[in-house]
Chain A
Amino acid sequence: MSGWLSKRGGWLGVYAVVYLVFLYAPIFLLPTFAFNDSTVIAFPLQGFTTEWFSGLSGVPALTGAVKTSLLIAVTSALLATTLGLCAARAGVRYRFPGKGPIMGLIMVPLVLPEIIVGVSLLVVIVSILGLPLSSWTVILGHTLICTPFAVAILNASYQSLDTSLEEAAIDLGETPVSTFRLITLPLIMPGIIASLLISFTISLDEFIIAFFLTGAEPTLPVYIWSQLRFPQKLPIVMALGTILVAASIVMLTLAEIMRRRGLKKAGKKDTGGFL
């Protein structure tokens, strides 16, 4: 035990484990209550049930919210990844006037409070343009906040892609377009997939912006928010949350596998996670 301690950083290692427990505590509680046979979200546990999961299918509003959220998440992920591809390529490969400010502005949503993004888009869309809110307004906001993450992931992809690979393809007679298709795209594909998955996950879970910009059809988090007010609905929310978290974890794991595969493809050594 003492050997293990000193090897792994001693008390620091113990602290790290306690910290992980702190990080994961809510996530472990989620399924605990989702399968608990009681309408009260509290200990002691009352027994096992899948009632709350089966209750999910019978709520039309929920089905609608899931559909809305999926549509928004898929569209935002595609848009953010496309914009991210352009930005990452421009940032890694080219020097141009105004590069710093432009790249900075694209990355700003990473630190901007989400309420500011929500409010400012709301002001433009409703107060100034007088347009109605809809799923599209949420997509606009989500694309904005997902793009910096896409840029960060794809930056890494482009950085680990040797410039001379593209030059070699041109040298061997390919056009810039066919070079992108034959060389660049396959080599950064893991990054693209990771970016799509991460953006999808962010959009699917995002609440604050969606709350400001959602139209007549609420997104899933907005729907959950409305349900949190009703104590008798809470077990169903727990079940829903369990499914959401499981889906997020699956997607993140896929994204991580993709990221590592990308590194391996490029023959690079792993140096850390996303961002």
Chain B
Amino acid sequence: MSAGQGLSEAKKGLLLAAPPGLYAILLLAVPLGAVLLLSFWSQDFLTLDRTFTLKNYREAFSEPLYMLLLGRSLLISGAVTLVTVLLAFPIAYFVSFHVRPERKSLWIFLITIPFWTSYLIRVFLWKVILGYNGVLNTALLGVGFIDEPLTFILYNANAVVITLAHAFAPFAILPIFVALEKIDRSLLEASRDLGEGTVRTFTRVTLPLAMPGVVAAILIVFIPTIGDYVTPDLVGGPNGLMIANMIQTQFLKLNNAPMGAALAVIAMVSVSVISLLIVLVTMRWSRRGA
């Protein structure tokens, strides 16, 4: 029914899109605007001072702790993204190119299942795995690989990276897989036919064509990880805490919502700017390649 009698196509479409659209406007766009607004207000003990002020931002940029947390968050998120995407690409490649077509959806299903299970419990289990008396240490001690338990894998940034790389694995694999699936296989045969070897075919044909998927994977991992506070809290130790922990503390413990809002705005703006840069750089890169 692209169009029939009565309402025009545009009206029908708008009418249908209205409920989810309004919901997203009222519960997403408006609240995000409210956070922005709140970040320019200030908290005076129990009362909210609604006069416009840059005080929160001034404090955020002058207080070393905030900047340290932000910098560390961006670094950790960046590392998580790098590790996750690097580990994910071969899997996506394997499923797309080496798994029989009728088995592909089973593999994708297997890869996505862990992602759907309780996040909180998964993070906690990494603490169990990586701990001083943890699974990894006991196993390595047991086989005589090490003499005393490793300590650099828990309660620091390494643990955060490992845990988040695990949590976001499917998010990285799926877009790359989709991009690889879209590649016309005859293009690869053509490249081989034109005299390129396996490796050169990969770097000159497969990789550039998979780039949109890789960029999507980078963004879909990088942006949400900045907002995680459960993982740093459980496995990060004092040196693994991130900006989201501070935002959470400002809102729920210190009762300074305007400061929390300002930190949230700063975090989101930083992430958006970096994401934009990533997109621009890869666009440049792939255009030059083409």
A residues with a Cβ closer than 8 A to B are 8-9, 12-13, 15-16, 19-20, 22-27, 29-30, 33, 40-44, 82-84, 86-87, 89-91, 93-99, 102-103, 105-106, 108-117, 119-124, 126-128, 140-141, 143-144, 147, 151, 163, 166-167, 170, 176, 198, 201-202, 205-208, 211-212, 221, 224-225, 228, 237, 241, 244-245, 248-249, 252, 256, 260, 270-275
A95 touches B10 (CB 8 A): yes
**How far in angstroms is the closest Cβ of chain B from A268?**
12
Question: How would you classify the secondary structure of chain B's contact residues: helix, strand, loop or mixed?
Answer: helix
The answer for the CA separation of A16 and B98 in the assembled complex, in Å, is: 11
B17, A120: Cβ atoms closer than 8 Å? no
User: Once the chains are docked, how many angstroms separate the CA of A170 from the CA of B62?
Assistant: 67
The segment out of B184-192, B227-235, B279-287 that lies at the interface is B227-235
Partner of A113, one of B35, B102, B224: B224
**B35 / chain A contacts, CB cutoff of 8 Å:** 116, 119-120, 123
Q: Would you call B117 and A248 a contact (CB within 8 A)?
A: yes
Q: How far is the CB of A240 from the nearest CB of chain B, in Å?
A: 8
A72 to chain B, nearest CB (A): 15
A167 to B13 Cα, complex, angstroms: 17
Closest to B257 in A: A127
Q: Contact: B228 with A113, CB < 8 Å?
A: yes
> Is A166 a contact partner of B1 (Cβ separation < 8 A)?
yes
B 165-205 contacts with A by CB, 8 A:
166, 169, 174, 177-178, 181
Contact between A90 and B17, CB atoms less than 8 A apart: yes
- Asked whether, in the complex, the Cβ of A144 is within 8 Å of the Cβ of B121, the reply is no
Chain A residues with CB under 8 A of B10: 94-97
List the one stretch of B63-71, B127-135, B153-161 in contact with chain A.
Answer: B127-135
A94-B12, A95-B10, A119-B35 as given contacts; A27 in contact with B90, CB under 8 Å: no
Question: Cβ of B97 < 8 Å from any Cβ of A?
Answer: yes
Closest-by-CB residue of B relative to A109 is B28
Instruction: For A123, list chain B residues within 8 Å (CB).
Output: 31, 34-35, 38, 257, 261
Q: Which residues of A have CB within 8 Å of B177?
A: 272
User: Does B121 lie within 8 Å of A95, measured CB to CB?
Assistant: no
